[in-house]
Amino acid sequence: MHPNAVMLALVLLGNLMLPLISAQNAGFVKSPMSETKLTGDTFELYCDVVGNPTPEIQWWYAEINRADSFKQLWDGARKRRVSINTAYGANGVSVLGITRLTLEDSGTYECRASNDPKRNDLRQNPATTWIRAQATISVLQKPKINATDQIVLTGESPVKPVTLQCNLTTAHTPHRESFWVKNGLEITNTRTELKHTSHRIVKPRADDSGEYMCVYTFDMAPNANATIEVKAKPAIHGHKRSENKNEGENAMLYCKSVGYPHPTWTWRKMDGTSYTDIDNSTGRFFITIRDNYTELNILKLDILTDPAVYQCNATSVIGNTAETTILRVRSNLAPLWPFLGVLAEIIILVVIIVVYERRKNPDDIIEDDEPAVPMKTNSTNNHKDKNIRQRNAK
């Protein structure tokens, strides 16, 4: 047999044997973890499995104290409160999520995985063809908290203090303590063991607005909280009043604001006597928006069309605020203007000197071809007059 044919046969045989040699039973890389949640909350369970071929993943559920009656879960079950997202690659990864929890969602949740070719054969025992990982989800009734309604800061003078209040009226277990949070960050020196807690804003301003929460902690249960929104009209406190650029360069204008909720940003350009909204029809204008911040980037400035007054406008349900920036675009010859100015002054000065010299009186100029004659002084004439007077006296 030809040596190349033998080599080809060995390669083909190796490829056929490779799946058998590298086959791997399913195994868990990450298993779901048990949690305790409150009604109205959301939970997610993660399941990561490995194997060759990549294992199939399923989710099952059994009510509390009924571990022998598992039912398979599907995406969109329980009035679309259940979501299952699964991806297969080198590993199989699946995420089970349930929103708007109720007490009936308590139970045992099971992640099953298998790459056994006979895994879906009804004659096979699932206990031998599927591996399983379980997590217990306990859902408790959410404590009742009476909280202050939303507050709108008017900005009127004189400024009046604002007090936020929460009162824990019912709970499944005694609470440990409470504290206040603003925009996800704990406010210092607000921890207390009282059921009734308050937070006082002495001189409220736009930057005091935001999402406040009173949080109650428990020893054997998740934290409970209530949200109070403090709203205010946007106030722009950071922007460029003017910007000077050369033609052909890029310009960046920005505006920053305080106030809650976050505003909707727009940019406008003064066109004659009125403002027009900026769009990207020329491909040179780009607007970036991030909550309380916005940028306007202008590429390759045009000295004829881009110099203008630009306005950023922040609008929310409470009100709107606007600020302007003056954009000046200089010619590329601008750096030469000082030198050209000095050169022009020198030329003018030379012209003045030349004109002055040419307009001098001809009598004041001594010609080179005339002989130099000594001039008679007044002293000589005085001596002559003196001699004449002496002769007459004799």
List, for residues 19-75, the tens digit of each pLDDT value: 444 678 899 999 999 999 999 999 999 999 999 999 999 999 999 887 678 999 999
The DSSP string of 198-247 is EEEESS--GGG-EEEEEEEEESSS--EEEEEEEEE--EEEEE-SEEEEET
Say what the pLDDT of residue 272 is.
Answer: 83
CA dist 27 and 305 (Å) reads 66
Tell me the average pLDDT of the chain: 86
Q: Does the pLDDT of residue 13 top 50, yes or no?
A: no
Q: Does the pLDDT of residue 120 top 70, yes or no?
A: yes
Residues of the chain above pLDDT 70, percent: 84
Q: Does the pLDDT of residue 369 top 70, yes or no?
A: no
Residue 193, both tokens? 């063991």
Write down all domains in the chain, each with its CATH number in brackets: 24-117+130-140 (2.60.40.10), 144-232 (2.60.40.10), 240-330 (2.60.40.10)
Whether the CB-CB separation of 176 and 192 falls below 8 Å is answered with no
Residue 331 confidence class, pLDDT cut points 50, 70, 90: confident
Residue 362 confidence class, pLDDT cut points 50, 70, 90: low
Averaged pLDDT, 349-371 = 68
Q: Does the pLDDT of residue 159 top 90, yes or no?
A: no
CA dist 148 and 212 (Å) reads 11
CA dist 58 and 73 (Å) reads 8
Q: Does the pLDDT of residue 361 top 90, yes or no?
A: no
